[in-house]
Amino acid sequence: MGEKGAAPDLDGKDLNIAIVVARFNEDVTKRLLRGAQDALTRHGVEEPDVYWVPGSLELPVTALALAEKGGHDAIVCLGAVIRGETFHFEVVAMQAAMGIMQVQLDTGVPITFGVLTTDDMDQALARSGPRNNKGAEAADAAVEMANLLAEIQG
């Protein structure tokens, strides 16, 4: 049987990846998108499809539509929920996370969570920069999981 996944397989040259990105807090999510696109390019993924949605609460249903349609090996969801700027931080952050988890378990398509949840804008900017970028991390995880699931499913 052997050991799988100890070193992540980040070869994306045969993968089709979609990115769904929320427009809410666009100054931050554009940076997450850039991070994700750069990471996917590094892994050899060609031209990921990008879908913009109004906010993080619209990420799950969009990921569901894409997963049900087929054609993508993994989906990256990007958003930014900033506590200082909303009274329903917990609701948006929790429902986005739960919705995305539900879609990946219902469909079996890996959907990675690149939604920042921070106390303030400074933290959000710090986690969406060129070196530390949650979008890039979510893109890495999408490639790794697409390869791992393909390996398991044969």
Residues near ligand INI, by CB under 6 A? 22, 24-25, 54-58, 79-82, 85-86, 88, 92
Give the Cα separation of 145 and 149 in Å (integer): 6
CB of 63 to ligand INI, least distance (A): 14
Q: Tokens standing for 1?
A: 């049987």
Judge contact between 47 and 40, C-beta under 8 A. no
CB nearer ligand INI, residue 20 or residue 143? 20
Q: How many CB atoms lie within 10 A of CB 121?
A: 15
Give the Cα separation of 141 and 154 in Å (integer): 19
Strands (DSSP E) contained in 54-106 are 74-82
43 catalytically annotated? no
Which residue in the list 88, 94, 129, 130 is annotated as catalytic?
88
CB nearer ligand INI, residue 27 or residue 46? 27
CB of 89 to ligand INI, least distance (A): 7
CB nearer ligand INI, residue 74 or residue 80? 80
With CA atoms as reference, report the closest residue to 75 among 44, 34, 109. 109
CB of 121 to ligand INI, least distance (A): 11
CB nearer ligand INI, residue 81 or residue 141? 81
With CA atoms as reference, report the closest residue to 142 among 113, 115, 116. 113
Give the Cα separation of 154 and 150 in Å (integer): 6
Residue in the shown chain whose Cβ atom is closest to ligand INI: 55
What residues are annotated to the active site? Answer: 88
